[in-house]
Chain A
Amino acid sequence: TSSTKCFLVSQPQQIYTTATMAAAARFLLRGGAQNSKLSAVSAVNSGSYHHHHRFGPTLLTVSCDTHDARSQPRRHAAHFTFQPDPVPTQYGPTQKMNLFQAVTSALDNTLASDPTAVIFGEDVAFGGVFRCTVGLRDKYGKDRVFNTPLCEQGIVGFGIGAAVAGATAIAEIQFADYIYPAFDQIVNEAAKYRYRSGNLFDCGKLTIRAPWGCVGHGSLYHSQSPEAFFAHCPGVKVVIPRSPVQAKGLLLACIADPNPCIFFEPKILYRAAVEQVPVEPFVVPLSQAEVLEEGSDVTLVAWGTQIHVMREVARMAQEKLGVSCELIDLQTILPWDTETVCKSVVKTGRLLISHEAPVTGGFAAEISATVQEQCFLNLEAPIARVCGYDTPFPHIFEPFYIPDKWKCFEAIKKMLNF
Chain B
Amino acid sequence: MAALRRVSQQLSVCSHAVRQLTGMNGCRTRLQLRSFGLCGANQQSFDPTDKPQFPGASAEFVDRLEFIQPNVISGIPIYRVMDRQGQIINPSEDPQLSKETVLNFYQKMTLLNTMDRILYESQRQGRISFYMTNYGEEGTHIGSAAALEPNDLVFGQYREAGVLMYRGFPLDLFMAQCYANADDLGKGRQMPVHYGSKDLHFVTISSPLATQIPQAAGSAYALKRENLNRAVICYFGEGAASEGDAHAGFNFSATLECPLIFFCRNNGYAISTPTNEQYRGDGIAARGPGYGMMSIRVDGNDVFAVYNATKEARRRAVAENQPFLIEAMTYRIGHHSTSDDSSAYRSVDEVNYWDKQDHPISRLRHYMTARDWWAEEDERSWRKESRKMVMEAFEKAERRHKPKPDLLFTDVYHEMTDNLTKQRDAMWRHVQQYKEHYPLDAFEK
Which residues of A line the B interface, CB within 8 A?
A: 15, 17-18, 21-22, 24-25, 28-29, 33, 36, 116, 118, 143, 146, 148-149, 151, 153-154, 156-167, 169, 181, 184-185, 188-189, 192-202, 204, 234-235, 237, 257-259, 287, 335, 338-339
Contacts and interface: CB of A to CB of B under 8 A. Distances in A.
Interface string B178-204: 000000111101100010111000011
Contact of A197 (B204, B251, B410): B204
B215 A195 contact: no
Contact of A164 (B14, B190, B215, B411): B215
A198 B219 contact: no
Contacts of B417: 287, 335
Interface in B4-27: 4, 7, 10-11, 13-14, 17-18, 21
Contact of A15 (B7, B10, B21): B21
A121 B440 CA distance: 48
A157 B249 contact: yes
B23 to A, nearest CB: 12
B405 interface: no
B339 to A, nearest CB: 20
A292 to B, nearest CB: 23
Interface stretch (B68-76, B109-117, B128-136, B220-228): B220-228
A162 B221 contact: yes
A257 B415 CA distance: 10
A384 to B, nearest CB: 24
A162 B251 contact: no
Contacts of A201: 196, 198, 203-204
The 3 closest A-B pairs by CB, nearest first: A161-B218, A157-B214, A154-B248
A157 B248 contact: yes
B215 A157 contact: yes
Contacts of A258: 414-415
Nearest to B414: A258
26 contacts: A21-B10, A22-B14, A24-B7, A25-B7, A149-B248, A151-B251, A153-B214, A154-B217, A154-B252, A157-B218, A157-B249, A158-B221, A158-B256, A161-B217, A161-B219, A162-B218, A162-B221, A166-B226, A184-B208, A184-B245, A188-B211, A198-B186, A259-B414, A335-B413, A335-B417, A335-B419
Nearest to B260: A161
B225 A118 contact: yes
A91 to B, nearest CB: 24
A234 B10 CA distance: 58
Given A25-B36, A154-B251, A158-B252, A204 B414 contact: yes
B242 interface: no
Contacts of B225: 116, 118, 143, 167
Contacts of B218: 157-165, 169
Contact of A157 (B7, B211, B220, B222): B211
A258 B411 CA distance: 11
Given A148-B256, A196-B190, 12 more contacts: A17-B13, A17-B17, A28-B3, A36-B3, A158-B214, A160-B214, A184-B208, A189-B215, A195-B189, A196-B204, A199-B410, A335-B417
Contacts of A235: 412-413
A184 B243 CA distance: 12
Interface in B204-248: 204, 206, 208, 211, 213-223, 225-226, 244-245, 247-248
A237 B14 CA distance: 50
Most buried by B among A157, A160, A193, A258: A157
A164 B203 contact: yes
B153 interface: yes
Contacts, number: 187
B255 interface: yes
Contacts of B251: 149, 151, 154
Contacts of A200: 185-186, 196-198, 204
A18 B213 CA distance: 43
A185 B413 contact: no
B252 to A, nearest CB: 5
A121 B395 CA distance: 51
B194 A196 contact: yes
A149 B189 contact: no
A189 B203 CA distance: 12
B219 A165 contact: yes
A234 B36 CA distance: 58
Given A200-B185, A338-B419, A185 B14 contact: no
Contact of B208 (A36, A146, A189, A202): A189
Contacts of A22: 11, 14, 35-36
A156 B11 CA distance: 45
A148 B411 CA distance: 31
Most buried by A among B211, B222, B255, B256: B222
Nearest to A187: B208
Contacts of B252: 148-149, 151, 154, 157-158
Contacts of A198: 184-187, 189, 196, 204, 411
Contacts of B414: 194, 202, 204, 257-259
Contacts of A257: 414
Nearest to A235: B412
A371 B14 CA distance: 63
B245 A192 contact: no
B219 A162 contact: yes
A249 to B, nearest CB: 19
A188 B215 CA distance: 13
B199 to A, nearest CB: 9
Contacts of A24: 7, 10
A202 B215 CA distance: 12
A153 B244 contact: yes
A15 B222 contact: no
B414 to A, nearest CB: 4
A184 B246 CA distance: 13
Interface string B257-289: 000000000000000000000000000000000
A154 B249 contact: yes
Contacts of A184: 208, 211, 245
B213 A157 contact: yes
Contacts of B190: 196
A21 B206 contact: no
A200 B195 CA distance: 11
A335 B420 CA distance: 10
A25 B14 contact: yes
